[in-house]
Structure 1
């Protein structure tokens, strides 16, 4: 059993299992996520404080299409089974993309389901998430990386009902620079351009039923988390950005879930520096139609 402060993990994703009253914490669990990949692990808790694990849920075979940059696993229940959406660096062309894995258990093992990443083959993509619309149609929402296009994009693309491949062309939902809270940065690889990051999208509904998107970027080189909302309630938007970030203290790539007691929570990793990153859990509330970090009676 370990405390959450002892877990080195990026890109936390919590699956709330109502059958067992347990929380399953997935994430980028390799000690060095920037290099050769080991796989993904899961931690299990009843209170979000003390966790059993790690338990291995994915280990690649020798023929797997990637061997490095194993990032951001999300586990979704869909049609009675469990599907993991995760980022991998492809062996064949050196570009990142989101692939789909499958298991009939939250404990795995998760095995390849799609034939390689389902995001566009010639794009640098990451952090794909599953969204099922009101008609029951599955979509993948993902990031088109700033490393390829400078101004990172959030995109959506239809998925086949078996989640094995995409349908049609990707649709750009918005660019990172469209949010009033993001700032540009320079990078040594691209010294003559301004870069804006899109990272870690996660879609959810507010208590009033609005379709919201949590996503991450940077403010003056500091990792931050913001929210956009769909004005139509549909995944294709249009999407309107909140003026201020939800979290700006060197943390991001989060998701939203509700505890067994009904408290809406934000989880993200902070600080954004390996090997110091840890998952944290933050209470949320809605005030005048906006989602904000909940303060206690002392204002903390």
Structure 2
């Protein structure tokens, strides 16, 4: 089971902090938070952008931040990758860390004057929700020349695992949400990604041009899937509206 929500203000940012105890939830500043409610340990585990971990027994007071991610400095991620929008998912007898990693020292493309850094959704694994989370078999899950982000986890009705992610608008200028099938142990991907929809397909996501006209927006961010009480598959995702 998992919960996720956004805290926009607070006293305790994650960087350069020692581990502390009994920190009130409204004193933590964390972007893109995700909370795993772990039945095995009867504990809530919270992570997000920055790649740190907080834990709590009641969702009110938290201990942290703990360092739990161990990437390979010789991999495409480099020595100190940025970590965005991390999620923790329990699957079978393991815990999986879905996150967006960026190596700012590698430029894969330049589009409309913007340098596109090496960025991709990736998965790490641990035997414990408290980590450490380490790389698995596949060095990459998605194409190296394609910036992707905000990968999340879904198990379909046929019990096949998938990662659902965004293809970043900075390169294609009409961001997409896509899916790719994962290996049974999530150690890599199978086949190629499949398009689910484009940002411009949305009837509500709009932006205003410099001359005041309204047109479809180009940003896709933060997909998250869920099943409704009527058995339908739903998704929440982020863009913006101007106008």
Interval containing the TM-score (normalised by the shorter chain)? 0.7 to 0.9
Q: 1:143 aligns with which of 156, 166, 179?
A: 166
Alpha-carbon contact 1:150-1:194 (below 8 Å) kept: no
Q: CA deviation at 1:65?
A: 2.9
- Which of 173, 196, 214 is 2:236 aligned to? 214
In the alignment, the residues of structure 2 paired with residue 162 and residue 18 of structure 1 have an alpha-carbon distance, to the nearest angstrom, of: 21
How many residue pairs get matched? 206
- Residue 114 and residue 130 in structure 1: after superposition, are their counterparts in 2 closer, same or farther (change >3 A)? farther
The answer for unaligned runs of 5 or more in structure 2 is 1-21, 109-116
Aligned position for 1:74:
87
Q: What per-residue deviation string (whole Å, max 9, x for no partner) do you get for residues 72-101 of structure 1?
A: 111111221011111112465432111110
Q: What is the SS of the residue equivalent to 1:177?
A: helix
Deviations 1:10-51 (A, max 9, x none): 11111111233321111113xxxxxxxxxx211112222221
C-alpha distance in structure 2 between counterparts of 1:72 and 1:220, whole Å: 24
- CA contact under 8 A between 1:205 and 1:212: conserved in structure 2? yes
Query: Equivalents in 2 of 1:61, 1:186: separation in Å?
Result: 42
Separation (CA, whole Å) in 1 of partners of 2:151 and 2:194: 14
Looking at structure 1, the residues matched to 156 and 98 of structure 2 have their Cα atoms a distance apart, in angstroms, of 17
Aligned to 2:45: 24
Q: 1:11 to 1:116 in 2, by over 3 A?
A: farther
**One of 44, 50, 69 as aligned partner of 2:61:** 50
**Could you say which residue in structure 1 is the equivalent of 2:28?**
7
Q: TM-score, normalised by structure 1?
A: 0.63
Unaligned ranges ≥5, structure 1: 30-39, 188-192, 222-300
Shift of 1:114: 4.5
Q: Is the 8 A contact 1:177 1:196 kept in 2?
A: yes
